[in-house]
Copies of this chain bind each other. A is one copy, B any other.
Amino acid sequence: MALIVQKYGGTSMGSPERIKNVAKRVAKFRAQAHQVVVVVSAMSGATNQLIALTKELTANPAPRELDVVLSTGEQVSIGLLAMALQDIGVAAKSYTGGQVKILTDDAYGKARILAIDDAPIRRDLDAGNVVIVAGFQGVDAEGNITTLGRGGSDTTGVALAAALKADECQIYTDVDGVYTTDPRIVPEARKLDTVTFEEMLEMASLGSKVLQIRSVEFAGKYKVKLRVLSSFEDEGEGTLITVEENRDMEQPVISGIAFTRDEAKITVQGVPDQPGMAFQVLGPVAEANVDVDMIIQNAGRDGTADLSFTVMRGDLDKTLNVLDRVKAVIGAKSVEADKTLCKVSLVGVGMHSHPGVAARMFRTLSEEGINIRMISTSEIKISVVVDEKYLELAVRVLHKAFDLDRAV
């Protein structure tokens, strides 16, 4: 008998028929004498519908009241799933975030979980109930309703698993696990049986949308055994996200290839080569709420340097406006932009014990005539920026070059 926390997203809860399927899956685990806590999102579309309603009333809804409205989506889900379970003879009891209770700070719309009272849940589990908890929501110390922000239900699931010291936290989604790369680009992409938290974090931050990044951090911090599974398939073990030590000795050098489209690169040329110049350029950019990703500075020969960095393409115009003012202040020569770029990254904890990964990556790309525009590395990741038109080709050839299509 294990204690399992399961989380079902909006797509899994998208219709009465699908809710019945979730109930059947939960019932199967109960039949194996496991204790089950279920975290659910709002039915797909419900949250957007509520947001549309608020927009008809005001362009700037007060965050406190927006959370009051949005949290109803998950509340409907918990009640419906409890009914569906009871209808097939499984005892179940629902809880809102306020009832559990999931205590958060008072940052409406992006609240962070501070504590969870696990006593009532344990009592209900011991009484033989499936406990259903509304994801995405909590209450602050004053009893005000808060929400955790988009995708927050994953975090609720992991936080509950941590508080209850659950044996496993299962995240059910519309994919059956984490893949070596996007199968729409590389048909040979292979589902990973395990991936480390660090790799998952890199892959999530690099555009693999399987899990909300905050929930992965949370799971890593509290050592919650996290598993990604499909809610639409009955078989399959999904992908287990685990701490590095749990992996086999013979781990692969590279676990997966992540990528992001919509990159733009900006180069500020002729920046005076003095201390503090990078800050004078990038400070105002950050103040404009633009996320800067890669940054490279090359010292030139005439006492000036070139500073290049990437931003999301949607932020490009805003960034150029900011730099227009900055240029005059610091006396830079010119600002140039390139907006048809993408980023391709190799991710793998095996990388640091296998020198030569970068060299192999660069050779593979050069053999296809793909020019590398920027490079950035971390302990478990190498990213390159290339022309967007090469994205699919780059991912395909790297996937093959690092043997990702072969089972380990």
Q: Is A370 on the interface with B (CB-CB < 8 A)?
A: no
Cross-chain contact A16 with B57 (CB below 8 angstroms): yes
A76 and B144 CA atoms in complex are apart in Å by 15
Minimal beta-carbon separation of A335 from chain B (angstroms): 40
| A66 close to chain B: CB less than 8 A | yes
Q: Chain B residues with Cβ under 8 A from A20's Cβ?
A: 57
**Bound Cα distance from A236 to B76, whole angstroms:** 39
Query: Is A271's CB within 8 Å of the partner chain B?
Result: no
B79 touches A66 (CB 8 A): yes
Check A68–B58 contact: CB distance below 8 A: no
Given the contacts A16-B53, A69-B80, A87 and B75 also touching, CB distance less than 8 Å: no
Q: Please, what's the 1-or-0 string for A189-227, where 1 marks a CB less than 8 Å from any CB in chain B? A: 000000000000000000000000000000000000000
- Complex CA–CA separation, A76 to B61 (angstroms): 13
Complexed CA–CA distance, A91 and B56 (Å): 19
The reply to whether B76 and A75 form a contact with Cβ atoms under 8 Å apart is no
Say whether A65 faces chain B, with CB atoms less than 8 Å apart. Answer: yes
Tell me how far the C-beta of A201 lies from the nearest C-beta in chain B, rounded to whole angstroms: 34
List the B side residues contacting A50 at CB < 8 Å: 76
A86 and B72 within 8 A (CB): no
A58 to B68, CA, bound (A): 28
User: Do B75 and A68 touch (CB < 8 A)?
Assistant: yes
Interface residues on A, range: 35 or more
* Bound form: Cα–Cα A144–B94 in Å: 10
Beta-carbon contact of B84 and A57 below 8 Å: yes
- The verdict on A83 contacting chain B, using a C-beta distance below 8 Å, is yes
- Of residues 39 through 73 on chain A, the ones whose CB sits less than 8 Å from some CB of chain B are 50, 53-54, 56-58, 60-62, 64-69, 71-72
The residue on B at minimum CB distance from A99 is: B143
Question: Which of chain B's residues have a CB closer than 8 A to the CB of A93?
Answer: 64
Of all chain B residues, the one with the shortest Cβ separation from A50 is B76
* Cα separation A143 to B80 with both chains bound (whole Å): 19
Tell me the complex Cα distance, A96–B69, Å: 11
A66→B53 contact, CB < 8 A? no
Q: Does A82 contact B (CB under 8 A)?
A: yes
Q: Is A284 part of the contact surface with B, judged by Cβ < 8 Å?
A: no
Cα A61 to Cα B19 in complex, Å, equals 14
Q: Mark A10-43, 1 if CB is under 8 A from B, else 0.
A: 0000001001100000000000000000000000
Determine if A78 is an interface residue (Cβ-Cβ < 8 Å). yes
Task: Select from chain B the residue with minimum beta-carbon distance to A43.
Answer: B53
Residues of B within 8 A of A58 (CB): 83-84, 86-87
Q: What's the nearest-Cβ distance from chain B to residue A9, in Å?
A: 18
Please give me the residue from chain B that is nearest to A17 by CB atom: B56
Bound Cα distance from A316 to B380, whole angstroms: 78
Q: CA A76 – CA B93 in complex, angstroms? A: 23
A: residues with CB less than 8 A from B are 16, 19-20, 50, 53-54, 56-58, 60-62, 64-69, 71-72, 75-76, 78-80, 82-84, 86-87, 93-94, 96, 98-99, 143-145
Ranked nearest first, the 3 interchain pairs of A and B with the lowest CB-CB distance are A69-B79, A16-B56, A68-B79
A-B contact pairs, 22 of them (CB 8 A): A16-B53, A20-B57, A50-B76, A54-B80, A57-B80, A58-B83, A58-B87, A60-B87, A61-B83, A61-B86, A64-B82, A65-B79, A65-B83, A65-B86, A68-B78, A68-B79, A68-B96, A69-B75, A72-B72, A72-B75, A72-B76, A99-B143
